[in-house]
Chains A and B, each alone.
Chain A
Amino acid sequence: MSPDTPTSAPILELRDLTVDFGGVRAVNSFNMAVAPGELVGLIGPNGAGKTTIFNLITNAYQATAGQILMEGKSLRGLTPDRICHRGISRTFQNIRLFPFMTAYENVELSIHSAPQYSLFEAFVRLPRARRKERESRARAHQLLETVGLDKLAQARAGSLPYGLQRRLEIARAMAASPRILLLDEPAAGMNEDECKDLVQLIRQIHETQGYTIIMIEHHMAVVMDLCRKSRIYVMQLGANLATGGPEQIQNDPQVIKAYLGERKNGH
């Protein structure tokens, strides 16, 4: 069995995914298959098209060609909010919290982005609506605790330090009760200690919640650590370059070439 084939039926599969922006082919026939419960890394040099892949999965950009299948069903053409309700949630490379909401509200919003009671119940707050709100409040606090932000629940999201904003984004993404979590550079801008904490957090939520996680990351230490037992996809110029376990990737001549460039021997 080749290393890029997961062992069981994939929960998410990208087939020959392609997108053109004007004359630029940002993603070119990209293939990926992720098994349920896997934690897969997605790396590549700057501009390789990694974030574009996430934007295509969540349909923030419309693909030009190819297929995006979740459990065999196509996601193309669904609006981003529908895709979220199908069970795909994400964080953003450039943090996109709701800056003027509190940390708690950010998480709570995502729990009930599809309101759980009718408009009439909203106006008069019948007991059912109040109960639903109590439930989501409890869950929001529990999620904040998971990422270690329970004491800052009432702080304005925009006023939190950078590293905590990243954690809050993870909590918010988890609040949507996803089955697939897309993490876009969760360790960007973090120092070594913060990275270690983050690795621990991601591993913990991966193990306890049973999410399937796809993670874009530039911090090699983070990727290599988290994807020890699984696979890493390497992208270059919008296409698959290599796939395999950490050691395999680190020793792949093509990957080394893509990252470090090529010596001009004899040219």
Chain B
Amino acid sequence: MGYLQAITILSGCNLLAVLGMAVLTGYTGLFSIGHAGFMALGAYMGGILGKEMGWNLVPCLLGAGLFSGIISLGIGYPAFRSRLRGDYFAIATLGFAEALRLLLNNIHSIGKWRLGGAYGYMDLPELKHMTFLPDWAVVVIVCLIALWVTHMFITSQYGMNCIAIRQDEAAAEMMGVDLLRTKLLALFVSAFLAAVGGALLAFYFGYINPSFFGIQRSSDLLASVVFGGIQSLIGPAITAILIVAVPQLLLTFALYRFIVYGLLFVVVMVFRPQGLFGYVQMNSRWITRFFRHKPPEAMEQP
């Protein structure tokens, strides 16, 4: 049972970050290959707030999210002002994540706070001691809240603007969508969620290390969204859980994981370039639509 709980927690943390990526990449069309950086920010900030300040779990998570969100605006503002898009924005985020990782590797302490550099930040408060609930239940609850909030965001007028930007940026701008503000908002939400995931991870292990948040994790996050489907929450959410759970459950085959990944990606990109659940909204309608032979719009055509 402990094993299953561990998988629940790890995939839950991953799910939070992937939800953030879904908002940024799946809905707004901005590719980030440095999202682990925002998780790292959340993990370290959560650790500082929990260990050094002695805050409770909820303010810790919110504080970590806000901190990471504000830092993300610092990256996003110059990038979006100069209209960095596509690959260029992705490289900017990669640069941020790698720079942050190297910084954390070399900062041994800030004042009295012993971040530990490459040895890692130790003796953080542990999740199971922070609340009266079991640790896995906390993660599940946070994930459900995050799913709800993200769903509300992307179905709101703000979310519609994000979707418009992904589909035709120039047309969106001329229809009155404020590009800079909308993109910054998407980045903020996504950095916030990633940071909450990172902070939960830190509290689960009671220990974090900069190498947890390398490019491998960033690419896993991006892969979950591309694989799970653009403009969809449910697809990336399922992929986020599978990407953690499946290798754990089939640990004996773990070495072959990347071969299978690679193969799956090629197959999905060739046959379903929009991702497994691309354009599938998280509601009851998609289930019926999924099993219908003809897509509804084909039938409505005159």
**Neighbouring B residues of A100 by C-beta, 8 Å:** 167, 231, 279
**Neighbouring A residues of B5 by C-beta, 8 Å:** none
**Is A112 an interface residue, CB under 8 A from the partner?**
yes
| Chain A interface bracket (under 10, 10 to 19, 20 to 34, 35 or more) | 35 or more
Interface SS of chain B: helix
Residues 162-185 of chain B, each 1 if its beta carbon lies under 8 Å from chain A, else 0: 011001101111111111000001
- Contacting residues of chain B (130-159) with chain A, CB-CB under 8 angstroms: 149, 152-153, 156-159
* Distance, CA A124 to CA B155, complexed state (A): 12
* Distance, CA A29 to CA B279, complexed state (A): 47
Least CB separation from A110: chain B residue: B175
Q: How many residues of B contact A (CB 8 A)?
A: 32
* Distance, CA A152 to CA B158, complexed state (A): 24
Q: When the two chains form their complex, are residues A84 and B174 in contact, meaning their CB atoms are under 8 A apart? A: yes
Q: When the two chains form their complex, are residues B300 and A113 in contact, meaning their CB atoms are under 8 A apart? A: no
**Is B161 an interface residue, CB under 8 A from the partner?**
yes
Q: When the two chains form their complex, are residues B302 and A85 in contact, meaning their CB atoms are under 8 A apart? A: no
Least CB separation from B148: chain A residue: A123
In the A-B complex, list the 3 residue pairs whose CB atoms are closest, starting with the nearest: A113-B176, A84-B176, A122-B156
**Is B296 an interface residue, CB under 8 A from the partner?**
yes
* Distance, CA A136 to CA B175, complexed state (A): 15
Least CB separation from B302: chain A residue: A161
Q: When the two chains form their complex, are residues B160 and A108 in contact, meaning their CB atoms are under 8 A apart? A: yes
- Given A98-B167, A115-B157, A159-B297; A125-B174 close (CB under 8 Å): no
Residues of chain A having any CB pair with chain B under 8 Å: 58, 60, 79-81, 84-85, 89-90, 92, 96-101, 105, 108-110, 112-117, 119, 122-125, 129, 132-133, 136, 151-152, 154-156, 159-161, 172, 176
Interface pairs (14), CB distance under 8 Å: A60-B170, A79-B173, A84-B174, A96-B171, A98-B167, A99-B167, A105-B160, A113-B172, A115-B156, A123-B152, A123-B153, A129-B156, A152-B302, A156-B297
* Distance, CA A116 to CA B159, complexed state (A): 13
**Neighbouring B residues of A85 by C-beta, 8 Å:** 176
Q: Given A92-B171, A98-B163, list of 16 further CB < 8 A pairs? A: A89-B175, A90-B174, A98-B167, A100-B231, A101-B164, A109-B161, A112-B157, A113-B175, A122-B152, A122-B156, A122-B157, A123-B153, A132-B157, A159-B301, A160-B301, A161-B302
**Neighbouring A residues of B167 by C-beta, 8 Å:** 98-101
- Given A105-B160, A156-B297, A159-B301; A114-B152 close (CB under 8 Å): no
Q: When the two chains form their complex, are residues A155 and B301 in contact, meaning their CB atoms are under 8 A apart? A: yes
* Distance, CA A211 to CA B152, complexed state (A): 35
Q: When the two chains form their complex, are residues B153 and A122 in contact, meaning their CB atoms are under 8 A apart? A: yes
* Distance, CA A152 to CA B164, complexed state (A): 20
Least CB separation from B167: chain A residue: A98
**Neighbouring A residues of B179 by C-beta, 8 Å:** 79, 81
